[in-house]
């Protein structure tokens, strides 16, 4: 699976990327919205895993654009913001799933293995 991982926290980004590669996925990593937008314009990804709160803004516009242009099939918000408001904003922007940090990798793997259009358990936004 081709995955774009947008996470500004270096240690979290490295750990998640290594675990995903270990599971057989191809992972492209970035730490900011500008680079993520550029990558989405150049490549096609099956999954966008994105932190919401980033130093250069939030990922809501990015995920909305990725969904509109069909450059990403599945989107997962990875965030420390676990409020109902953040979950609703994520849903409105186009995130399919919402996971709070620290991310449980087994839950993330389950979401990635789901067939498109099949809702996840309690993590679906």
Distance (Å, rounded) from C-alpha 75 to C-alpha 64?
A: 10
Give the domain ranges of the chain. Answer: 2-112
Q: Is the distance from CB of 54 to CB of 28 less than 8 angstroms?
A: no
The pLDDT tens digits of the residues spanning 65-98 come to 888 887 778 999 998 878 899 899 999 999 999 9
Distance (Å, rounded) from C-alpha 64 to C-alpha 60?
A: 6
The pLDDT tens digits of the residues spanning 46-68 come to 999 999 999 999 999 999 988 88
Question: Tokens 């937008």 identify what position?
Answer: 37
State the pLDDT at residue 91: 93
Q: What angle do CA 8, 39, 48 make, to 5 degrees?
A: 60
Instruction: Give the CATH number of domain 2-112.
Output: 3.40.50.2300
The pLDDT tens digits of the residues spanning 7-54 come to 999 999 999 999 999 999 999 999 999 999 999 999 999 999 999 999
């Amino acid at each position: 699976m081709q995955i774009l991982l947008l996470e500004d926290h270096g240690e979290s980004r490295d750990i998640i990327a290594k675990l995903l590669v270990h599971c057989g996925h191809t992972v492209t990593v970035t730490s900011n919205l500008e680079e993520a937008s550029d990558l989405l314009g150049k490549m096609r990804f099956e999954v966008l895993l994105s932190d919401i709160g980033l130093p250069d803004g939030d990922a809501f516009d990015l995920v909305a654009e990725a969904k509109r242009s069909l450059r990403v099939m599945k989107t997962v918000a990875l965030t420390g913001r676990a409020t109902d408001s953040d979950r609703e904003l994520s849903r409105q922007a186009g995130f399919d799933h919402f996971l709070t940090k620290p991310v449980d990798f087994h839950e993330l793997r389950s979401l990635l293995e789901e067939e498109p259009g099949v809702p996840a358990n309690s993590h679906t936004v």
